[in-house]
Homo-oligomer: A and B are copies of this chain.
């Protein structure tokens, strides 16, 4: 057990019962020309975290701790994409349309892949999810149970959408959740900051947060 000096109070990290979950670090959300940029978002904040996420994954790999990755994408026939999700706001490019990196957010297309700097390696869990939350309509719940996981360390994008939704789902299911502050980002820095405050409020009502350097030092 490592005592992590997290906010709002120390987190008792038990690596043998933990998994790192890296949320949706996909080309379509991070790379120029991808879906995120076509929606009008500035990619700077989400691209900036890549080296920190890489270091976090590297730390887990070096220590032999469990790593999981998620990808938001849909089946090629879009049967798992609610019409309300695809059509909302009449965007110029919709999920399933041909974009700069293949069909947008379709499983197996180049844009749906995780960026090469953070690519999963053999033995790591990789989950495709149709929603923002990682538990809905996926097998991650049973998989984590198989590994005896009760604690989740979170990283990825975007903080207030897929990361927050997945943390809230995990918290309802009894997992203790620790978010690495500088290994997560939003297209909107204001939303990231508010989400960190909401997570820690009322005695860690959703979970804990800590900067990567503090986490890294605490587990030496």
Q: What residues of chain A have their CB less than 8 Å away from a CB belonging to chain B? A: 8-9, 39, 41, 82-85, 88-89, 91, 130-133, 136-137, 150, 160-161, 164-165, 168-169, 171-176, 187-188, 190-191, 194-195, 197-198, 201-206
A194 CA / B192 CA spacing, docked (Å) = 10
B83 near A174 (CB under 8 angstroms)?
Answer: yes
Q: Which residues of B contact A201 (CB under 8 A)?
A: 188, 191
Q: Assuming A174-B82, A198-B191, is B91 touching A203 (CB within 8 A)? A: yes
A166 CA / B132 CA spacing, docked (Å) = 13
B205 near A172 (CB under 8 angstroms)?
Answer: no
A204 CA / B90 CA spacing, docked (Å) = 11
A203 near B88 (CB under 8 angstroms)?
Answer: yes
Cross-interface CB contact of A168 among B168, B198, B202, cutoff 8 Å: B168
A191 CA / B191 CA spacing, docked (Å) = 10
A61 to chain B, nearest CB (A): 26
B165 near A168 (CB under 8 angstroms)?
Answer: yes
Extra inter-chain contacts (5) besides given A133-B169, A136-B172, CB under 8 Å: A89-B203, A136-B169, A160-B198, A164-B168, A165-B168
A18 to chain B, nearest CB (A): 13
Cross-interface CB contact of A161 among B130, B195, B205, cutoff 8 Å: B205
Chain B: CB-nearest residue to A168: B165
Chain B: CB-nearest residue to A129: B172
Chain B: CB-nearest residue to A137: B172
Q: Which residues of B contact A136 (CB under 8 A)?
A: 169, 172-173
A54 to chain B, nearest CB (A): 26
B194 near A84 (CB under 8 angstroms)?
Answer: no
